[in-house]
Structure 1
Amino acid sequence: METNNILRLFDDFIVAPGFNRSDISKWFNTNKHKGINRGVYAILNYKLEILYIGSSIDLQKRLPHHLYQGKLNGYFQEVLLIGIKYVEGDVTVLERKYIRELKPKLNKYRYDY
C-alpha cells in the first residue's frame, strides 16, 4: 500500500523519534480534550513503513509499555511516528484487519485467516 494511503488510515499521529516516552506523554497531555483513548495504533519508521500494529482500550497507558517489552527491541531508533485510529467498539477487529492488510514487520501473528 502506498504511503499516502497508509497515512489516511489514521486519525492522529504522535511524532516520537526514537519512541521517546516524554514525546508520547506530552502528546496525550496536550490532546486530552479529544476524549477518546481507545483504538488501533501503528508504529512507523523514518521511511513511513509500519513496524508494528497494536490496539488498546487505553492507548495512553499501553503505548509506553513497548519500552519494557521485547516487541520493539532493536528498532526504537527507527521509530518516527505513531499513528492512531480511534475506535469506539471492539478494537481487535480493526487491529486484525490492519495486520492482515498492512503486514507490519514486527507483528508475530499475522491473522492470515
Structure 2
Amino acid sequence: MNIDADIQVWLETMNRNQAAVIVPYVQSKQDKTLAYAVRAVKEGPNGRSVLSQGGTLRVPANVPTALGRMSLSWGKQDDCGIDLKLSENGAAQRNYHFACPE
C-alpha cells in the first residue's frame, strides 16, 4: 500500500481461470473528487499488451472506493506493471506504480 498525505492506494487481485481481475482502490480521510487514470502494461516473449481506463470519481471520506476493474493474464517470463495517476482540482498529480501481483 502506498500512502501519500491523506490518500491510500492499493490493489486487490482476484484469480479467475486464465486471467486475474485487478481492482485498484483509493481511500481518503476527506471527501474528494478525483480524476484517475489506470494503465497496465505487460511485455514478454509473446508481445506487449496495454490496458487503460480512467475517469472522475467521488471518494467519500474513509470509504474504500474501487477505480474500476481490469482483467489481465501474465506469465513468469513477462514484465508486468500497473500505473495509477490521481489528480484533484488544481493539486499536483500523484503517481503510483505497482508490480503485477505474483
TM-score range, shorter chain: 0.3 to 0.5
Larger Rg: 2
Q: Name the TM-score, length of structure 1 as normaliser.
A: 0.33
Q: Flag the structure with higher strand content.
A: 2
TM-score normalised by L of structure 2: 0.35
Whose helix fraction is larger, Structure 1's or Structure 2's? 1
